[in-house]
C-alpha cells in the first residue's frame, strides 16, 4: 500500500472506529493486508486498538495530519510557490496553509479579475477586500452594496492613496476603509466565497487566485483579514495624521 492509502485508513478511523474486517471492506483489501497495515500504523503510534477489537486514531495521529495538511498543500502547488512570495503572510497563518487544501488554483488573470467583480455583486451580507490595486468600476459596486446593507470593508495599500484621491466614490465614507504600508496578499471574502492571491517574487501581481467556498479556507481568510485590519490605519483621503485604530 502507498502512503496515501495509509493516510486514507487514518482519515477513516478519525471519523469512526472500525474492526479489522470493516477496514478491509472499506479499503477493498484482504483482511491479511488490512491487519498488516493496521499493525504498522499501531506500532507507529498513529492508531490504537480498543478492548472491543476496534481500531481508532490517536491524538498523536491527529496532530500529524494537521501538520501534513500544510505540507500537502504546499507540495501540490509547488510550482506556484516557487515564484510567489508567501513571506509577507504572518507566520501564524503560514503554518495554517493546510486549511486552504480544498481551494482551487485559478490561473487566468483576466477571468479572475472579472470574477472578482461578480463576487462583489453577488455578496449579500459582507465584503472584505484587501488589495494592492484599484479598479474604479468596483468602487461603484462597493458603494451600491454598502447602501443595500452589505457590510463592506476595504484594506488598501498606502501607495494607492494618491491614485484613490482621484476617485470621488472612494473618497466618500460610503464604507469602511483602512490603509497598510503593504498588503501581504490579495484577499476578497464574502459570506459565499474567498479568493486569495500572492505577489510574485518581484513584488508584482499576476492574479492567479486560490478560490474556495469551504468553511476552512473561508475561516483562514477571515482570520487573516481581521489580523491585518486590526493593525491598519484609518483611511485619510485628504491627508491628516495617521494614527493606529484603538
pLDDT per residue over 94-108, tens digit each? 999 999 999 999 999
> What pLDDT does 173 receive?
63
User: 64-99 burial, b if ≥16 CB within 10 A, otherwise e?
Assistant: bbeeebbebbbeebeeeeeebeeeebeeebeebbbb
Beta bridge partners of 134: none
Phi, psi dihedral angles at 212 (to 5 degrees): -145, 155
* Residue 196 CA from chain centroid, whole number: 7
Helices (H) and strands (E) in the chain, counts: 11, 11
Mean pLDDT, residues 29-45 taken together: 94
Could you tell me the pLDDT band of residue 155, with boundaries at 50, 70 and 90?
A: very high
Mean pLDDT, residues 209-233 taken together: 97
pLDDT at 172 exceeding the cut of 70: no
The whole-angstrom separation of Cα 3 and Cα 228 is 38
pLDDT at 139 exceeding the cut of 90: no
> What pLDDT does 143 receive?
87
Cell numbers placing 238: 485628504
> Which residue has cell 471492506?
25
pLDDT at 153 exceeding the cut of 60: yes
> What pLDDT does 243 receive?
44
Domains present along the chain, CATH in parentheses: 3-57 (1.10.10.10), 74-234 (3.30.870.10)
Residue with the bigger pLDDT between 235 and 92: it is: 92
Mean pLDDT, residues 110-118 taken together: 91
Which residues, at least 6 apart from 207, have a Cβ–Cβ distance to it below 8 Å?
109, 112, 113, 186, 197
Contact 48, 61 (CB under 8 A): no
Q: What is the largest CA-CA distance in the chain?
A: 74
The whole-angstrom separation of Cα 106 and Cα 42 is 40
Whole-number percent of the chain with pLDDT over 90: 65
Mean pLDDT, residues 212-223 taken together: 98
> What pLDDT does 222 receive?
98
Q: What are the C-alpha distances in Å from 62 to residues 99, 101, 106, 144, 231?
A: 14, 16, 30, 45, 33
Mean pLDDT, residues 64-85 taken together: 90
Residue 200, by phi and psi: left (phi above 0), alpha (psi -120 to 50) or beta?
Answer: beta
Cell numbers placing 97: 496553509
Element (H, E) at 130: strand 126-131
Could you tell me the pLDDT band of residue 135, with boundaries at 50, 70 and 90?
A: low
Residue with the bigger pLDDT between 63 and 55: it is: 55
Residue with the bigger pLDDT between 193 and 161: it is: 193
The whole-angstrom separation of Cα 196 and Cα 36 is 42
Whole-number percent of the chain with pLDDT over 70: 87
Could you tell me the pLDDT band of residue 168, with boundaries at 50, 70 and 90?
A: low
pLDDT at 24 exceeding the cut of 50: yes
pLDDT at 31 exceeding the cut of 70: yes
Contact 133, 160 (CB under 8 A): yes
pLDDT at 223 exceeding the cut of 80: yes
Average pLDDT along the chain:
88
Beta bridge partners of 152: 127
Amino acid at each position: 500500500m502507498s502512503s496515501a492509502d495509509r493516510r486514507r485508513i487514518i482519515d477513516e478511523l478519525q471519523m469512526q472506529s472500525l474492526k479489522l474486517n470493516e477496514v478491509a471492506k472499506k479499503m477493498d483489501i484482504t483482511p491479511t493486508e488490512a491487519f498488516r497495515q493496521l499493525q504498522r500504523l499501531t506500532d507507529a503510534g498513529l492508531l490504537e486498538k480498543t478492548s472491543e477489537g476496534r481500531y481508532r486514531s490517536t491524538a498523536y495521529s491527529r496532530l500529524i495530519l494537521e501538520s501534513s495538511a500544510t505540507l500537502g498543500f504546499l507540495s501540490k502547488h509547488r510550482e506556484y510557490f516557487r515564484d510567489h512570495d508567501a513571506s509577507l503572510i504572518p507566520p501564524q497563518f503560514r503554518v495554517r496553509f493546510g486549511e486552504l487544501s480544498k481551494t482551487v488554483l485559478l490561473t487566468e488573470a483576466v477571468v479572475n479579475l472579472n470574477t472578482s467583480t461578480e463576487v462583489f455583486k453577488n455578496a449579500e451580507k459582507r465584503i472584505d477586500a484587501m488589495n494592492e490595486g484599484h479598479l474604479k468600476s468596483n468602487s461603484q459596486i462597493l458603494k451600491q452594496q454598502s447602501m443595500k446593507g452589505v457590510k463592506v470593508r476595504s484594506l488598501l495599500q498606502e501607495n494607492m492613496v494618491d491614485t484613490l484621491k482621484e476617485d470621488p466614490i472612494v473618497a466618500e465614507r460610503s464604507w469602511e476603509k483602512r490603509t497598510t504600508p503593504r498588503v501581504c496578499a490579495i484577499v476578497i471574502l464574502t459570506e459565499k466565497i474567498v479568493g486569495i492571491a500572492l505577489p510574485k517574487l518581484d513584488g508584482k501581481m499576476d492574479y492567479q487566485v486560490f478560490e474556495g467556498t469551504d468553511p476552512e479556507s473561508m475561516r483562514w481568510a477571515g482570520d487573516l483579514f481581521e489580523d491585518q485590519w486590526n493593525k491598519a490605519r484609518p483611511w485619510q483621503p485628504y491627508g491628516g495624521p495617521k494614527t493606529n485604530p484603538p
